[in-house]
Structure 1
Amino acid sequence: MVTTGRARLLCVAGLATAVSLFIALVPGHRGWFDVGVYYGTVNDWVHAGGGIYDYLKPGTHYGFTYPPFAAVAMLPMSLLGWHTVVAVHTVLTAAACAALLYWLVDPIAREHGWNRPFVYGLGACALAMLQPVRDTVSFGQVNLLLVALVWADAQLLARGAGRRGGRWAGVGIGLAAAIKITPAVFIVFLLLAGRRRAAATAAATAAAATAVAALVAPGPSLAFWTGALWHTSRVGDLAYISNQSLLGALARLHPAAPSRIAWLVAVVAVLALWAVRARRAVRAGDLAGGFALTGLVACLVSPITWVHHLVWAVPALAVTAQVALAQAAARRRRLLWGTATAYAILCSSVVWLWWYHFDGLGGLLGGSAYVWVTLGLLAFMPLRAAAPAPAAPVPAVREQAPVLVAGATAAEERVPSPAVHAAADRESISVLAARR
């Protein structure tokens, strides 16, 4: 007869195998398209003398859209063959996933005393099923690497107080912002959280990386910051179903001329909501919750948030689950059901049902389902309660010295009187009551 523990391990092993086989088939469909754009751009730049923002992947209208420092960071690709580049990218993405799982899932296992390898394996399967993760792997995107860089800083801030390692907090965020501008919103969060040193480190790192790129590639840097950055049409169609940002949802209402005014109003409202909730997380000492909320708002306010960019929502799902498991039974059930629903939608690829016909109410709700999930997490993701203030220390009971009374005998001087005993007893009883 198979024991319960062994049966669970067998189930996890079987599920992990099935998921791995499924994911292994997905890249054959996507063909590592985006890493192909990176690879072609860098090789054209280095070996053919082309411009970073002039290159287009053969047979498509897609070119390099990241800041120049991203191309500089990818220069080693020019020394490698295509299959080696794909292998290296896959290994780096797997390492980023492993780090995120350790940071996000391992605390849940330790907090509840669960088998850590079992929970880790379950978390890996859950992570692999999310469509943003599947798309990141199959397209060969850099999103998971950027999330790992930002959360490395979150770990330094959480664990590095008073330690030498905390001095490096902000470097990961700065590098992520220099590679792809969206993570710069985490610098604003560091300021909201009162982590001015880390914010300054992040800003200085991003500025230094951008300056290095300007020295290495002055022409492309000028072209990007004065032109390419402001032309969102280079990235893709705003109304395309994969654009799961606020602007994408609004653009699908009126694809020919999406309202920029409505988008700006929505962005201001969402940023205000984020600022309120992020400050609340900071006051409660929930740094992880603040980082998770910032990842969500980055997806919402960015003009273009492709489905694979929504890996920034992964920490919010993990934080919600962790907080939910610590609640009373009734609230725990509600939070877990809400988390499971959000997770299921992000796994479902449901938005693609409206790929060709996204007009009408159905298109607004279903075609932008990931937008509403992200917005719901931003508004309702639970935060950890503030830790209670430590109780004031109780003064120790002082030993009663003998009281000398004028005219007392030697024996009476050595032994306290009954009145002294009674006073001492009353003080001891009051101290014990205070301790209770």
Structure 2
Amino acid sequence: MRDRRVALVWAAFVVVALVSCVLVLRRDDRLSDLHIYYGALSDLHAGRPLYGFVAANGGPFTYPPFAALVLGPITAVSEGVLQGIWLVATCAAVVAVAGAVGVALTTRQSRRPLVVAVAATVLMLSAPVQSNLRFGQVSIFIVLMALLDGMGVVPPRLRGMLVGVAAAIKLTPLLFVVYFLATGRYRDAGRAVATFLACAVLAAVVLPAESWTYWTEAVRQTSRIGNLASLGNQSLHGMLLRVGVDEATLPLLWAGLVALVCAAALLRARQLTVEGRAGHAAVLVGCATVAASPVSWTHHQVWPVLAAMLLIGASGVAQRAAGVALLAAMVVSLGAVLSPVSTRPGVQFLFENARAVGVCLLCLVGFGGVAVAATRTVRRPAGGRGWLRVGVTATVAVAFFAVQPLPAGADPTFKAYALDDVVNPRYFFVCRGPAECAAYGTDAPVTFSTRAEKTKVRVNGVVSPQVTRLEYFSAPGGAPRAIPLLDAYPGSRTFSFRSANMAQGRLVAYASDGQPIASYDEELAAALRATTR
């Protein structure tokens, strides 16, 4: 019976993998990051600078030069063939990661095949793995190397080397070096550092110009990675940007929070290692890299999915509930799914940042949880209550966050369009021409329409002559955003802006004396609902 269940689950995995790969290949922007690797390396082989390449979608090559050496052979085949190979390799890496997690989930050999099959299927359904497939990313391979090395399942003389190679391709696994030191694996830490440096030196010898460019310029240019304030960046840094922390305060606040999260995760990882739970420890350190990195896109977030499965596989009810909640956040976008029921902007902000909050909480309390820690303090000595204090503090902070008004700075996609944008066909304007705009306008101070897109909502309309100023509030208590009134056509003034979410938005029109003459909040929400039906 067990063998039959294992076969059925693996069959489900194959179906999910095949459907996912087919859907990816049907997209116009399929494996867009792999396209960047392919184009950048083709340029490099043709004698052009690696970090000067920019793909049609605006994406540059962002990895260290050693990654170019590792990925160099991909140009030996056509890009179409490479896409198929990459998808198969990604699915194979998912199975390998599931196999490693299966070791941590159960010690019973008889149950392990079923556990591994379920873990692989859940991983394949998760947003991070789907993102790896869609973009053709290397993240799943980085996770696999760091996980195997962190768990210590590689031969003793090679331990640390996989982390060194992974860090030479993407820098975040360097946190595992600190984990090795914290757990007394000094030789592993030494091998990791030596391997990392050897890879960097090899790249410098083979690609001296690219190495100089990367380590002196590109490594500090986070703008090359994309809009770090977008909701896709579920790291501490991204969340602080969305909160609207000012530029002067951000570096110190971010550094302090990263130090707290990493210290808590590493201390708990050391304790887990002593308890013989090396798999849990490695996953916890991996989650800390997600929280601490300046940018953690969806495809980076494989670690929290593994953590969720480990929590679900635990014995405590509270841990399982936490695992289910974390897994739900990693499979679907709670901000999009639950926006209709989020009655306050702070709650909506919490939904939109659920992955970042979940990862940070996991790092702070380890594989316990506040409820579990609370029940154990009765039986444990007072020294164990430190984790309870950390967990309670984090929970209180999250609860406080949830009831606060959403700051205007938490609308990272906001943009008000200028007069030069009117002629751009990419932008949404309800009218283009004097007659069309005159016909669109009404007797109301502001007449507008909305258009919902995947990550933003566009608002466009015309204003009557008595309106001299227009402002948009992302949420109650937030600072106003000035909306330019555009004299695009004789006899009419138009406006256009975009916002991340209008669930709590308010548009206010002012007369020449500075007094508000019209306010639109329910109208914005109603227009958005009508647009998204």
Q: TM-score range by the shorter chain?
A: 0.7 to 0.9
Q: Distance in 2 between the 1:259 and 1:107 partners?
A: 37
2:202 aligned with 1:205, yes or no?
no
2:64 aligned with 1:67, yes or no?
yes
Choose the corresponding residue for 2:15, options 14, 17, 36. Answer: 17
2:327 aligned with 1:343, yes or no?
yes
Q: Distance in 2 between the 1:103 and 1:10 partners?
A: 21
> Bigger radius of gyration, 1 or 2?
1
CA RMSD in angstroms, aligned pairs only:
2.7
Name the structure 1 match of 2:226.
236
Q: How does 1:179-258 map to 2 (within 5 A)?
A: 179-254=169-244, 257=247
Q: Which moved more, 1:121-130 or 1:183-192?
A: 121-130
Q: CA deviation at 1:283?
A: 2.9
2:208 corresponds to which letter in structure 1?
P
SS of the residue corresponding to residue 305 of structure 1 reads coil
Q: Which moved more, 1:176-185 or 1:305-314?
A: 305-314
Q: CA deviation at 1:262?
A: 2.0
Q: Distance in 2 between the 1:354 and 1:215 partners?
A: 52
2:354 aligned with 1:369, yes or no?
yes
- Runs of 4+ aligned structure 1 residues displaced above 6 Å come to none
1:137–1:260 CA distance, 2 compared to 1 (3 A): same
In structure 2, stretches of 5+ residues that fail to align are 369-533
Q: CA deviation at 1:285?
A: 3.1
1:373–1:16 CA distance, 2 compared to 1 (3 A): farther
Q: CA deviation at 1:24?
A: 2.9
Deviation track 1:37-81 (CA, whole Å, cap 9, x = no partner) reads 00000001102x2111110002x3210011010011111122221
Q: Distance in 2 between the 1:136 and 1:7 partners?
A: 28
Name the structure 1 match of 2:34.
35
Corresponding residue pairs, total:
363
Greater RCO, 1 or 2 (C-alpha within 8 Å, sep 6+):
1
Name the structure 2 match of 1:307.
298
2:91 aligned with 1:94, yes or no?
yes
Deviation track 1:236-288 (CA, whole Å, cap 9, x = no partner) reads 11211101000100101228848222212211221221232122223323222
In structure 1, stretches of 5+ residues that fail to align are 384-436
Deviation track 1:174-213 (CA, whole Å, cap 9, x = no partner) reads 0000000011111111111110111111110110000010
2:323 corresponds to which letter in structure 1?
T
* Structure 2 contact 69–203 (Cα < 8 Å) conserved: yes
Name the structure 2 match of 1:46.
45
Q: Distance in 1 between the 2:9 and 2:310 partners?
A: 25
1:335–1:61 CA distance, 2 compared to 1 (3 A): same
Q: Distance in 1 between the 2:280 and 2:85 partners?
A: 32
* Structure 1 contact 245–303 (Cα < 8 Å) conserved: yes
Name the structure 2 match of 1:398.
none
Q: Distance in 1 between the 2:318 and 2:338 partners?
A: 30
Q: CA deviation at 1:83?
A: 1.3
Identity %: 29
1:280–1:6 CA distance, 2 compared to 1 (3 A): closer
Q: CA deviation at 1:8?
A: 8.3
* Structure 2 contact 304–326 (Cα < 8 Å) conserved: no
* Structure 1 contact 173–202 (Cα < 8 Å) conserved: yes
Q: Distance in 2 between the 1:11 and 1:208 partners?
A: 42
Q: CA deviation at 1:312?
A: 2.3
Q: Distance in 2 between the 1:28 and 1:370 partners?
A: 28
The structure with the largest helix share of the pair is 1
Q: Distance in 2 between the 1:228 and 1:133 partners?
A: 27
Q: Distance in 2 between the 1:301 and 1:106 partners?
A: 27
2:128 corresponds to which letter in structure 1?
P
> Under a length normalisation based on structure 1, what TM-score does the superposition of the two structures give?
0.76
2:133 aligned with 1:153, yes or no?
no
* Structure 1 contact 105–318 (Cα < 8 Å) conserved: no
Q: Distance in 1 between the 2:301 and 2:199 partners?
A: 25
* Structure 2 contact 146–166 (Cα < 8 Å) conserved: yes
Q: CA deviation at 1:102?
A: 1.4
Q: Distance in 1 between the 2:182 and 2:62 partners?
A: 29
1:133 corresponds to which letter in structure 2?
V
Q: CA deviation at 1:111?
A: 1.7
Q: Distance in 2 between the 1:34 and 1:135 partners?
A: 11
Choose the corresponding residue for 2:273, options 282, 285, 290. Answer: 282
* Structure 1 contact 16–121 (Cα < 8 Å) conserved: no
Q: Distance in 1 between the 2:3 and 2:67 partners?
A: 46
Deviation track 1:294-327 (CA, whole Å, cap 9, x = no partner) reads 10110111111111100122332343334x1xx3
1:339 corresponds to which letter in structure 2?
G
